[in-house]
Structure 1
Amino acid sequence: MRFEGKVAVVTGAGRGIGEAYAKGLAREGAAVVVAELDADQGERVAGEIRSAGGRAEFVPTDVSDESSTRAMGEAAREAFGGVDYLVNNAAIYGGMKIESLLKVDWNYYNRFMAVNMNGAVLCTRAVYKSMHERGGGAIVNQSSTAAWMGAGFYGIAKLALHGITHTLASELGWRNIRVNAIAPGPTDTEATRSTVDEGILQSIVSGMPLKRLGTVDDMVHACLFLLSDEASWITGHILNVDGGQVMRV
């Protein structure tokens, strides 16, 4: 129960890895704000956490909209008294367009970047004062190994998220707020399988040192570690959870 008495916001928590993050935090004692755009899925996850004996509230949230993220921060204060942890997981990924940067529809591109890149900034702005008032906290941003692979505008957004992680770690350190990121490799989720062809997935896995797809549990273990006091002297770090897909020196 590493997070008993703490409050965590998880964006994009209505399915996939975000849902697993929310439920993992709840299992270890945190009250969880399920910040999700899809009301049906958000209500479902919050309800399942409560049914399992945890505390959770669904808050409808569009991470690309400043007024929506501010309302999310206020709702967290009202429901649970404030915020200790933030997981910036929300992203356009499952079923996303895979197109050339030179040809992708410009409105789609701007919406994509507003969610996948700027959403982490807006959500952090919405909760960091509450974290500071409560003595500090921790933030985990959801990146991807695509950041190092020239993987189109998705990779660009994730690479930018690394810069955001480093900058926020520098800006928030004096407030005792740590900021790190997780870069998952290919992970067995509905979103991945709806986006990446099975043959391509198997080709990627065959070239990795640990020859299997990642699981949501692999990501949850890493996320909870980075949020916990066990990582109290770690900030500005990008943690690959990828079976050795990307090895950096």
Structure 2
Amino acid sequence: MSTGKSEELEHQGKVALVTGGARGFGRAFGAALAVRGARVVLADIDADAAAATAAELRADGASVEGLACDVADEEQVNLMVQQITASHGGLDLLVNNAGLHSAAFNKPSEEIGVAGIRRLFDVNVMGVLICSLAAKAAMRGRPGGAIVNISSSAAYANRTAYGVSKLAVRGLTASLAREFASDGIRVNAVAPGLIFTDTIRKELPAAEAQRVLGQQILQREGREEDVVDAVLHLLSSRASFVTGETVRVTGGFALSL
């Protein structure tokens, strides 16, 4: 992860909300934003985990708090954003990271069932929409407003309901970018490929990992910081003329024209 002096101050004084922030990528995004001076709110459906992660990051001197929130629940999201606005005066940055992505959703729709697919889309798609709409009012009038949605390389394959949900995130990103532009808010997305986190190393069969690596153009394992750096860039002033885009961080796995 880049740590140049100017980058360390990139988000000084900004208020950032990261959904699904208790663990994994959400925790990494929140930690990186805090290092760069942002006041970070980690929202997660697991209230205890959000509070614990926030406490860990505060121990390192970061300005971080954890809040409980189900991103698919419009009332909860609106109350959360109101609380953030009351505490911090508004919101500048949003990372729509919360999502369902376990092996349970990477299978045929008939196996998942209608109820499972409805929940998948409630979180992965409606959650992005609900959080973005709630954040828009809190961002209005504040310079440098930016939203980054987390899509997936699966959005370019569309083999499962999970991939279709992430394809919808790409579509929402373009749509919301157009809608939010008049308020000076940029909306982009990042689509990670296979990123070798500790969880992936434990859960992914070796044969599947080799299959994906064999389809990448860059023959190395994707790292967590590859995705974090892409998100940080899109949230920064260096991307001030970029909106409506989905940046693929896949080592060339999802390359297409």
Q: Which residue of 2 aligns with 1:144?
A: 152
Q: Which moved more, 1:165-174 or 1:89-98?
A: 89-98
Distance 1:152 1:194, change over 3 A: farther
CA contact (8 A) 1:96 1:195 kept: no
Distance in structure 1 (CA, Å) of the matches to 2:174 and 2:235: 16
Deviation at 1:247, TM superposition (A): 1.4
Decide whether the 8 Å contact of 1:46 with 1:56 is kept in 2: yes
Q: Give, as a single letter, the amino acid of the residue that structure 2 aligns with 1:224.
A: L
Alignment coverage as a number of residue pairs: 249
Task: Write the distance in 1 (CA, Å) between the matches of 2:123 and 2:203.
Answer: 18
Residue of 109, 112, 122 corresponding to 1:101: 109
Matched ranges for 1:1-249 at <5 A:
1-193=9-201, 196-249=204-257
What displacement does 1:136 show? Answer: 4.7
Q: Letter of the aligned partner of 1:151 in structure 2?
A: R
Quote the RMSD (CA, aligned, Å). Answer: 1.4
Percent of matched pairs sharing the same residue: 38
Which segment is superposed worse, 219-228 or 134-143? 134-143
- List runs of 5+ in structure 1 lacking aligned partners: none
Q: Distance in 1 between matches of 2:221 and 2:130?
A: 31
For 1:195 and 1:154, how far apart are their aligned partners in 2? 18
CA deviation map 1:33-84 (0-9, x unaligned): 1011112221122112211111111110100110111112012112222100
Q: Distance in 1 between matches of 2:96 and 2:79?
A: 16
Structure 2: gaps of 5 or more residues: 1-8
Tell me how far apart the structure 1 counterparts of residues 244 and 64 of structure 2 sit (CA, whole Å): 28
| Letter paired with 2:225 | D
1:194 is displaced (CA, Å) by 6.0
> Cα distance, 1:23 vs. partner?
0.2
- CA displacement, residues 204-227 of structure 1 (integer Å, 9 cap, x when unaligned): 112212122211111111100000
Deviation at 1:195? 5.5
The question of whether the paired residues in 2 share the 8 Å contact of 1:94 and 1:190 is answered with no
1:17 alignment partner AA: F
Q: Secondary structure at the match of 1:10?
A: strand
Q: Which structure 1 residue ranges, 4+ long, deviate > 4 Å from structure 2?
A: none
Provide the TM-score with structure 2 as the length reference: 0.92
Query: Counterpart of 2:112 in 1: which secondary structure?
Result: coil
3-state DSSP class of the match of 2:17?
A: strand
The 3-state SS of whatever aligns with 2:110 is coil
Find the residue that maps to 2:94 and give its secondary structure. Answer: strand
* Alpha-carbon distance, 1:133 to partner: 2.9
